[in-house]
Amino acid sequence: MAIQWYPGHMNVARKKAAESMENTDLVIEVVDARLPEASCNPMVEELRLFRQRPCLKILNKTDLADPAVTAAWVAFYNAQVGVSAYAMTTKKPAEVARIPDLAKSLAPHRGVPTKPLRIMIMGIPNVGKSTLMNALLKKRVAKVGDEPAVTKLQQKLYLDKNTVLIDTPGMLWPKIALPSDGLMLAASHAIGANALIEEEVAVFLAELLLGRYPQLLTARYGFKTEEMDGIAVVEGIAERRAYRQKGGDFDFEKASHTLLIDYRSGALGRISLETPDTRAILQASHAAEQVEKVRKAAILAAEKAKAAANGRRGT
């Protein structure tokens, strides 16, 4: 299943962000620590590189992510030019309090009364951007909700007299190239429910957990995972929780929802859906697939051209 979700307000938000980027000194991109690259919006990278703006990459929700994997991602981003990574959770005020100084270190020429530091905060839906804004300002200025795309309008706020924050709506991008990215985003509640089928997302998540965190499935649901596939995991949850439909069949939908909620809430444990190594493998595989598509298209075009030429000679 290829998941795509790009409501109309996101296109408007993208155009507005492009306009505002010209008058921005620094971009703070908030990503989900459990899936940092899958939750990176390529449009954000495109906009900031065009304007040559540095980026503070905030890996949020570290309390839900595998700490060893998060450390690997921080090293991965810190090795990139113009990028500084910071792993944190908005649940810890002391971690939030470090952000202004980190931002100022990336734009040392700004942050004085005559030249205030202008920071644009960006990120995908439901990644914790609004919660971060409220925590930074120590008051409720952004609407927060456990649903994607709660914020729909850009707003400008003052962190202090020398620092301006530009809050932008959560944005995805028009076409998610990697199907697994769409599924990871859906599992992590960054995509609207109308754009996905929970049962398919749950089976994908179960397959991933079987490969990386089978012990967490056993600890949470009490069954052994040997020789299981994703469907069997969801059915196992239904059996353990006594989720049955009329007639006695497993309630696959309810069990799927339970697995997704347990992952999203952290009830399953600290889980990362991707690592720098698995990301590199995935991208290499995708690139090879694209090359093969181009090769096949070229062969098909050549065959059609040859057939057309033969047809002309025949007449």
Question: Which residues touch 229 (CB under 8 Å, ≥6 apart)?
Answer: 206, 207, 210
In terms of Cα–Cα distance, which of 36, 65, 187 is closest to 123? 36
In terms of Cα–Cα distance, which of 148, 254, 259, 270 is closest to 202? 259
Neighbours of 297 (CB within 10 A): 10
In this prediction, residue 147 has a pLDDT band, given cuts at 50, 70 and 90, of very low
Residue 147, SS3 per DSSP = coil
Q: Considering only residues 279 and 171, tell me which one the structure prediction assigns the higher pLDDT.
A: 279
Q: Is the predicted pLDDT of residue 6 greater than 60, yes or no?
A: no
Average pLDDT, the chain: 87
In this prediction, residue 144 has a pLDDT band, given cuts at 50, 70 and 90, of low
Query: Model's pTM, two decimal places?
Result: 0.84
- Mean pLDDT, range 76-99, rounded to an integer: 96
- Mean pLDDT, range 78-107, rounded to an integer: 95
Q: Is the predicted pLDDT of residue 143 greater than 90, yes or no?
A: no
pLDDT digits (tens, 9 = 90+) for 150-187: 445 567 888 989 999 988 877 776 678 788 999 999 99
Q: Is the predicted pLDDT of residue 146 greater than 50, yes or no?
A: no
- Mean pLDDT, range 240-247, rounded to an integer: 93
Q: What is the pLDDT of residue 153?
A: 59
- Mean pLDDT, range 232-249, rounded to an integer: 95
Q: Considering only residues 110 and 194, tell me which one the structure prediction assigns the higher pLDDT.
A: 110
In terms of Cα–Cα distance, which of 7, 27, 2 is closest to 171? 7
Q: What is the pLDDT of residue 149?
A: 43
Residue 264, SS3 per DSSP = helix
b/e burial code for range 107-132 (CB count within 10 A of at least 16 → b): beebbeeeebbbbbbbbbbbbbbbbb
Q: Considering only residues 8 and 23, tell me which one the structure prediction assigns the higher pLDDT.
A: 23
In terms of Cα–Cα distance, which of 153, 205, 149 is closest to 5? 149
Name the H helices within the chain: 8-21, 42-50, 67-78, 93-96, 99-106, 129-137, 179-187, 198-212, 214-221, 230-240, 252-265, 276-314
Q: Is the predicted pLDDT of residue 93 greater than 70, yes or no?
A: yes
